[in-house]
Amino acid sequence: MKTIRGAFAAVVMFLSVLMAGCGQDAPPPPSESIRPVVVHTVEDAVTKTIRTFSGAARAEVETFLSFRVSGEIVELPAKVGLSVAGNDVLARLDPTDFRLQVKEAEAGMAQAKARLSQAKADYERARMLYETDNISRAELDNARAAYNSFRAQVSAAGERLALAKQRLAYTTLSSPIDGLVADVPVENHQSVQAGIPVAMLITPGAIRFEMGVPDHLVRDVQLGAPAEVFFESLPHVSLAARVIEVGVLSAELSIFPVTLEFEEKDLRIFPGMIGEASLAFSLGPEKERFPLLPPQSVVNDPLNGPFVWVVDTENMTVFPKPVNIGDLQQEGVMIREGLQPGDLVVIRGVHRIKEGQKVFILEENIR
């Protein structure tokens, strides 16, 4: 019985509290929030566009070295990565045959000089006999001709000797410059032919950037134009450069080579490193010009198309404004229609605001 009375009392108390609550006024609705925004001020139409091209670093000086004579390599001090100075020995050929040629040429020179000495004595004797009328003029002429012939033979023997010595000197391959050995495509004791590359030298730090530019843009590339180069192996590093060569012969189909020179030497850059270079191209009067916006500021409505949120500065609210977008450039997306210079476009949090919402502009505005 007591249990029933307790339950009844609890129900009565609950109904009393509920009726008391219904008699009070409803709580006021929450006040409208003011959302902070970051805006971009629409500027006049752009006069330049930035294009990026892939390329690779190349040594400014690439010296391919080879022997001028054929033979077997017996010494190969050159190693990839070796730093060398001018006249340092990079490789040597077996000099045995070439030394033999020098000795044969020296022997030929000695014989020619001996014959010349005899011919000179015969000519002097003939001239004295001719002056005393003991020989005829024809005999004197023969002696003079023999003497001149042996003089020519001595001269030829001297040239053969000089050539043999030069060929012997060619068996030693030395560095013509101070540099770094970048490649050694041969092995020791390998037989090589004259003119076959034995080593390649580069000048460390003297690096250029070579890239390919399409035919419809290469005519607008100007010598001396500034550029920025970025390498995959050097993230967040921008290197200043300038155009020093614009190719006139296509390296590939409709692609022309353009060479950049870095403003400062950077020992972190090695030949073969892959990167990208950005160039600014002026938009001539015959080309369309449009303002640019950060891509994240454009909202794509599946029903009504793309729009942006614009700040009404009189009452500090936002409203949607349809836009016609164009190409996406490195510095932003082109807005072909819908905006005027001076419009304040919201670029952050565009999916968290609604039409008519009050906003206040943060100081980190972007122009």
Distance in angstroms (rounded) separating the CA atoms of residues 172 and 343: 74
- What's the whole-number mean pLDDT along residues 297-317? 90
Q: Where are the domains of the chain?
A: 35-46+289-361, 51-60+206-282, 67-93+172-202, 96-169
Report yes or no: 56 and 210 within 8 Å, Cβ to Cβ: yes
Would you say residue 7 has pLDDT above 90? Answer: no
CATH of domain 96-169: 1.10.287
Q: Any residues with CB less than 8 A from the CB of 135 and at least 6 apart, and which?
A: 126, 129
88 beta partners: none
For residue 365, pLDDT beyond 70: no
Which tens digit of pLDDT belongs to each residue from 345-358?
A: 998 878 888 899 99
Contact partners, residue 77, CB within 8 Å, separation at least 6: 88, 89, 90, 91
Q: Per-residue confidence at 51, pLDDT binned at 50, 70, 90?
A: confident
Q: How much is the pLDDT for 288?
A: 54
Q: Does domain 35-46+289-361 have CATH number 2.40.420.20?
A: yes
pLDDT tens figures, 72-113: 999 999 999 899 999 999 999 999 999 999 999 999 999 999
* Reported pTM: 0.55
| Domain 51-60+206-282, architecture per CATH | Beta Barrel (2.40)
Question: Which stretch, 35-44, 157-166, 197-206, has highest mean pLDDT?
Answer: 157-166
Q: Which of 88, 287, 86, 280 is nearest to 172 (CA)?
A: 88
Whether domain 67-93+172-202 has CATH 2.40.50.100: the reply is yes
**CA–centroid distance for 218 within its chain:** 16
Rounded Cα distance between 280 and 48, Å, is 6
Q: Could you give the CA distance from residue 334 to residue 337 in angstroms, rounded to a whole number?
A: 9
What φ, ψ does residue 347 adopt, rounded to 5°?
Answer: -120, -5
Q: Is the pLDDT of residue 14 over 50?
A: no
Task: Give the N- to C-terminal CA distance of the chain in Å, as an integer.
Answer: 81
pLDDT in tens, 250-290: 777 789 999 999 998 888 888 889 999 999 877 655 445 67
